[in-house]
Amino acid sequence: MQTQEAGALAQQVIQIAADTVDIPADRISLDSEFQTDLGFDSLHLMDFIMAVEERFDVSVSDETAEKIKTVRQAVDAIERAIAGKGI
């Protein structure tokens, strides 16, 4: 994915994360951990994954969702799905 597209995707993922737990997007970085840094619980993570699936028209397996710990990992997983490698 081109750098500009990757940056836009990352910003969209950060915004979805911010909306999920109602915190300012500027407090979230690619290295933010969902549970430790953003206060996500299992319900927040499920809501986040569902919002990502809807926004990017991808499917995230439960196995993959359990492995996503940081915003960067979520962005990488979405990029792979969009590229057709599947998640």
Active-site amino acid positions = 41
- Closest listed residue to residue 29, CA positions, set 13, 45, 42, 43: 13
